[in-house]
Amino acid sequence: MAERDPATLLRLVTDEIWCKRRYDLVDELISEDFVDHIEQQGLDGTGRARYLASVRLTHNAFSDYHEEILLIVADADRAVSYVRVTGTHDGDLMGLPPTGRKIDMHAMGILRFADGKVVERWAVGDSLTQMQQLGLLG
């Protein structure tokens, strides 16, 4: 298989794992030694298992979760994405019972790759918009 560039790998991770729920690709695309720089309530563990847990936690809270990639910028071993995130809050979200409300917000993420796999992740999302849309703020 030809080596994939960071932009292609980021698109694969987003489209296949996050949007199409292809959990079987986690072993292929995420390093066993994955390092997560995202602190998220209810998310423990390390490595590939932590990554999969974050995906499942999100999909459990938003069964129709989707990321639309609006922009990717990449260099030799990193790719940055700017995405539109949508979904319906129909499952537990870090102790918050389902509200049935929809979210529509933006987020940015950075993935670093080595040997064709994600080895590190950073991200920031528009938490204020998400909390307003879920009815948690006035």
- Which residues, 6 or more positions from 92, have their beta carbon under 8 angstroms from its beta carbon? 60, 61, 98
- How many whole angstroms separate alpha carbon 122 and alpha carbon 132? 23
Give pLDDT tens digits for 33-73.
Answer: 999 999 887 788 889 999 999 999 999 999 999 999 999 99
Segments of the chain with pLDDT less than 70 = 1-2, 138
Give the helix/strand (H/E) hosting 59: helix 47-61
Q: Residue 68 has what pLDDT?
A: 98
Query: Which domains does the chain possess?
Result: 6-133 (3.10.450.50)
